[in-house]
Amino acid sequence: MVTPTDSIRKKLYNLWAYNPYLTPKKACEQLQLHYKRHGNYVKKLLSEFRSYYSFGSPQEALRCPHRRVFVWECISRVVELPVGWSVVANRNDMWVFRHDLGSVHWYKNGLVRLYLRGSVQLARAKELFCRAFSWFGPEELKKYLDVPLREESKHWVFDLGAPVPRFDIRKFERSHGLRIYNDKSHTTSIEVEETSPFWIDEWRKTNQEFGQVIGQFGVEIKEHLKLIQVWQKQATIMRLKPIKRKIKMQEAPRQRSILEFMH
């Protein structure tokens, strides 16, 4: 048999699961409870709910994201293994560079993945890249680093303070690039992984092609403007020719009459 007290507890927990920001006074109003009579009990239940059901409380990620990955696609591999790099034979001859800042993976097809460790700063990612590719000259480093770095994925860990069952939600992975899961590597946490959604690469390609088209259009417009200026000069010259001829014809009899008068 369910007692009235248990019924109130269940109703309150359902309210807070739906809206964890609901205050005890508002909760009493929604359940039509007298606040002066039930207020202390409702506050106690809210405290218990936030202690044992951390899903109801706003959660902050751990101080540093667990992992951030940056990608470069077309860096041709050198013939000899550079200093500081090692070969991972069981991963299709992948080369890896390890450092306190993170690690860099370099594949046969030119794909480079940089795994940044610690605080999230682009300066740290660039420093790790420079250490890994220490033989690059200034021009090559500028080519790869003086552009917006392409970030492939981010990873956060939200600690809930209570055991969490294993689960894996991939519903929004393709559309929004979000995967929410717990693989028991952090038993009391929820892990959120953000990757580039399927349409972002196509959008980047379209955006790049659009930029190239705009650049070509600008060049062609400049050439057209130069041609228009040439036509304008030619038209001005052609327009002035008959005017000058008419002026000469009008001035010639006047000069002749002055000469006759002087004689």
Residue 30 lies in a domain: yes
Structural domain that includes position 23: 4-56
Residue 87 has pLDDT above 60, yes or no: yes
95 and 44 in one domain? no
Q: What are the tens digits of pLDDT across the range 125-161?
A: 888 889 999 888 888 888 888 766 766 677 778 887 7
Q: Residue 261 and residue 108: Cα distance in Å, rounded?
A: 99
Buried b / exposed e along 216-236 (16+ C-beta atoms within 10 A): eeeeeeeeeeeeeeeeeeeee
Q: What are the tens digits of pLDDT across the range 229-241?
A: 888 888 888 877 7
154 and 181 in one domain? yes
Confidence of residue 4 (pLDDT cuts 50, 70, 90): low
More confident residue, 151 or 14: 14
Confidence of residue 116 (pLDDT cuts 50, 70, 90): confident
- DSSP bridge partners of 99: 102
35 and 81 in one domain? no
Residue 260 lies in a domain: no
